[in-house]
Amino acid sequence: MADTDAGSDTDGGDATGGEGADSDPGDPDDPGDEAEHGSPSAPTGGLVVPVEPTPTLRATIAHAVEAAVDDGFSTIHLVEIASWRNGDPGADDRAASAERVLERAEAWANSDLDDLDERRPQVTVATELIGADEYLFGPDDYVRVLAAYAEEHGADAVLLDPEYTPVGNTTLLQPLEFALSNTSLTVETAPVTRPTRRERLRSDATGKRFVAMFGFSLAFYLVLGDPLYWFDWVTGVATAAIVSITLSRVSIDVEPAIPRTPMRVLRGVIYVPVLLFEIVKANVEVARVILDPRLPIDPTLNRMRVIVGSGLPLMTLANSITLTPGTLTVRARDSDLYVHSLIPSARDGLFDGSLERWTRFVYYGRASARLPTPRERDDCAILQGPDATEELPIAAGDGGTAATEEDNPSVEPHGENRADRGEAGATDE
């Protein structure tokens, strides 16, 4: 608020006119200007607005301008957090698309600032694409990049679009808000009206997704049945229609397109015999261990951070791992897969990333298949047993108690292995 005796502090001037009046309405240090506009005289700090092309982006930008003027922010930072990494296939096209979104958002913000009833406030608009130099997997990674940007630019508040979904079709807003609450940033969700969501089956079942799901379901049904028998055609069409109406929106997370979708189908056909070979090979290895008592059985829970994206690609990889004997996907969390392995060779196969590379090949092509494996990226860990390299984080992440020294004697509270402590550790124990 303005100081009530601001007018008496001037040298013989009057608060409403004369020489002591606000001779320069644009002077940010003048208390009369502060009293007139009801905001801090010198705007400080910055407001960070994560940007994605959403139905509520325009309204969020308008609210950001209002908040910046009312709360005295000097800069509105419009940032887009990259869900890809520089050098990945298609990264240049995605970066160019992100820049276009940022340019449009910047134009909206400047237009709203220019359209204010009074003179344009001292608020600048900055845009930047961040996080493209590393892989970002979940809310914690997004918050870390966002907080680092805010600290670097002196921003102290974040405004979130209620429809903000930077990782595809999975809404990230609530866990993002929760993770941001652990930082020093002030977090607010823009109070804008969300678009009406039609939940009728007819609206969900129309379009390219319905056609793609219908064709896939009918083909699968006829493969299991007799494509030359008329009754299988009748029941197949009925079954495919029901599946398409109920699951086309759920199972297909992006609109089918040419040539992307046919190429994925073709690469998926190539992947089927590869997966069958991996299943047969794993069966033989597990059978050898069971039949030969001299061979080791070493059941462990392992963590593996994978680079396949979210939605259908992640589900494909998780199910492929589960279909392979000796491994079982226990949980998928962001891009971390928690996999139980029965024998050492099964665990080594996970870390060598054969199935991960084939999954990337199916969905993104040969160039993506050449990315480093989890072992090469150091994105894997053993969570149980004498060779454990990490604590078990699942219980702590769900609000429970993390794995302790009693649960896993081989791991110290900070992930230090007892074997690395030397004689002093052995003496203490």
pLDDT in tens, 25-44: 444 444 444 434 444 444 56
Domains contained in the chain, number? 3
Q: What letter would DSSP give residue 13?
A: -
Q: What letter would DSSP give residue 3?
A: -
135 part of a folded domain: yes
Q: Quote the pLDDT of residue 44.
A: 66
Residue at token pair 């203490």:
428
Question: Residues 149-152: contacts with CB within 8 Å, 24+ apart?
Answer: 149/48, 149/77, 149/79, 150/46, 150/48, 150/77, 150/185
Q: Quote the pLDDT of residue 244.
A: 85
**Any idea what the CATH number is for the domain that residue 161 is in?**
3.40.50.620
Question: pLDDT tens digit string along 238-290?
Answer: 999 998 888 777 666 666 777 878 888 899 999 999 999 999 999 999 999 98
Q: Above pLDDT 70, what percent of the chain?
A: 72
Model-wide pTM > 0.85: no
Q: Quote the pLDDT of residue 410.
A: 42
- Domain final residue, candidates 382, 405, 420: 382
What is the chain's mean pLDDT, rounded? 76
The pair of three-digit structure tokens given for residue 105, joined into one six-digit string: 């958002």
Strand partners, 161: none
The neighbour count for residue 372, using CB atoms within 10 Å, is: 12
Residue at token pair 């608060």:
15
Answer yes or no: do 210 and 185 share one domain.
no
Q: Quote the pLDDT of residue 8.
A: 39
Residue 7 has pLDDT above 70, yes or no: no
Domain range for 149 is 43-189
Residue 402 has pLDDT above 80, yes or no: no
Q: Quote the pLDDT of residue 149.
A: 92
Answer yes or no: do 162 and 232 share one domain.
no
Q: What letter would DSSP give residue 310?
A: S
* CB of 327 closer than 8 Å to CB of 340: yes
- The more confidently predicted of residues 198 and 187 is 187
* CB of 119 closer than 8 Å to CB of 26: yes
Distances (CA, A) of 245 to 29, 224, 233, 322: 63, 21, 18, 28
Residue 192 has pLDDT above 90, yes or no: no
418 part of a folded domain: no
Quick one: which H or E segment has residue 354? helix 354-364
4 part of a folded domain: no
Nearest alpha carbon to residue 142 among 184, 176, 107: 176
365 part of a folded domain: yes
Quick one: which H or E segment has residue 75? strand 75-81
Residue 157 has pLDDT above 70, yes or no: yes
Q: Quote the pLDDT of residue 174.
A: 58
pLDDT band at 141 (very low <50, low <70, confident <90, very high): confident
* CB of 74 closer than 8 Å to CB of 43: yes
Q: Quote the pLDDT of residue 48.
A: 92
- The more confidently predicted of residues 290 and 207 is 290
